[in-house]
Each structure stands twice: as C-alpha cells, then as structure tokens.
Amino acid sequence: MGKVCCCFGAGEFFGLCEAVPDGALVIAADAGIKTAKECGLEPDIVVGDFDSLGYIPEASKLVKLPAEKDQTDMAEAVDIGLERGCDEFLLYGATGGRLDHTLANIQLIAHLSAIGKRGFIYGNGFFLTAITSAGIRISGKVGDTVSVFSLTDRSDGVTLHGLKYPLENHTLFNTAALGVSNEFASESAEISVGNGTLLIYSAF
C-alpha cells in the first residue's frame, strides 16, 4: 500500500470505519474540519471556500478557495493529496445531504481509479470504491450486500468470485443494473474487470 490520504468532507459522518494509518495525510474540506477534530485528528491541511463552515478556521496549513470555482472542495482536497504523492484515498463526509455532491464524489473515485489510484467513500454502513481494468478483493460477512455497476458505457470481462451470484467474463452496461443486490457467499470476494470502470458498493 502506498501513501494514504484521509479526506473529511462536509457531508454526513457515521464514524471512522478504518483506522487512519500512521503517516497518513489528513485533509479537511471546508466543514469537514469539525468532523476531523471530533475524531481527535488535527488536519495537516484545511481547504475550502468555507461556505459550509461559515467562517475561516485557524489551521497550520490553510488553502482558501474562491466561492466560484470549477471543482468541489473535496476534489480540491484529493488534488492536494495527489500532489503530495498519495495513492489511496479514504473519503468521509462524502455522502448524504445534497445528492449532487454525493454523485460528484462517486465521479471523484472513478477518476482516481482511472489514473491508477484507489478511492473509498465511507457512508452509513457501506463503502463505495471503483476499479478500472483491474481487480480487487473485498471482505465482509456472509449475506452482506455487494452491488457492482458499470460507470463506463460498458465494462467487459467482469468476473465475480465469492458472491452468491457469480459472473465469469461478463459484460455490464451503464444502462442496466444486473449487478445490484448480490451477496457475500464467503468472507471474501474477488471482483475484476478487463476493460472499463466498475463502481462497487459493499454493506458492512
């Protein structure tokens, strides 16, 4: 595993699902500074236009953004993490509230997968990740829900092992939800795609 970046956004927060590793870069996006501090974390960097927070906070490293900009505060946080050499991104406060921001964060982890990085969004009892022409092993309890969606027009060579409804070298399309509501058949599953980008939802 490469360098980890933990980003806190202004969305809903349901607790830390993964311990923040030693040496991880912690970035708070706007009101995400409050969530980070509730977890006992002092952000290395705070970034945003601070419309959600309502004031400009004190921080050792502050990146003030204009209110009118081309990217969300979370996307700016991820860009900083990329500039600092991070390979894995744990996103908290990236769901709930405005649906458009949740969708923007899903696009963000899809972008990370497309450039060879890995992003995880942690929500209320679930996580989301994306893989592009790659594979991943995920863990869970037997019976827990796993769903797989194509984010590209089509995803070829989709293979699912360790799930109740396996697939072997299948094609998924972004206009059909064939991969919804699968289940762990064992305590781990392997998901891979030969060409395309998959969004993976896993309940816990």
**Residue 96 in 3-state DSSP?**
coil
Residues 29 and 63 in one domain: yes
Q: Which residue has the tokens 């500039």?
A: 83
70 — pLDDT class (breaks 50, 70, 90): confident
pLDDT value of position 55: 85
| pTM of structure | 0.93
**pLDDT tens digits, residue range 104-150?**
999 999 999 999 999 999 999 999 999 999 999 999 999 999 999 99
**Are residues 21 and 117 both part of a single domain?**
yes
For residue 146 the two structure tokens come to: 């796993």
101 or 155: which carries more pLDDT confidence?
155
* Mean predicted lDDT score pLDDT of the chain: 94
- Bigger pLDDT: 61 or 58? 61
CATH code for position 116: 3.40.50.10240
pLDDT for the residue numbered 1: 57
Q: Which helix (H) or strand (E) holds 173?
A: strand 167-173
Residue-range definition of the domain harbouring residue 16: 4-123
Residues 110 and 192 in one domain: no
How remote is the C-alpha of 92 from its chain's centroid? Answer: 8
Q: Of 84, 99, 123, at which residue does a domain stop?
A: 123
* Span 64-83, average pLDDT: 92
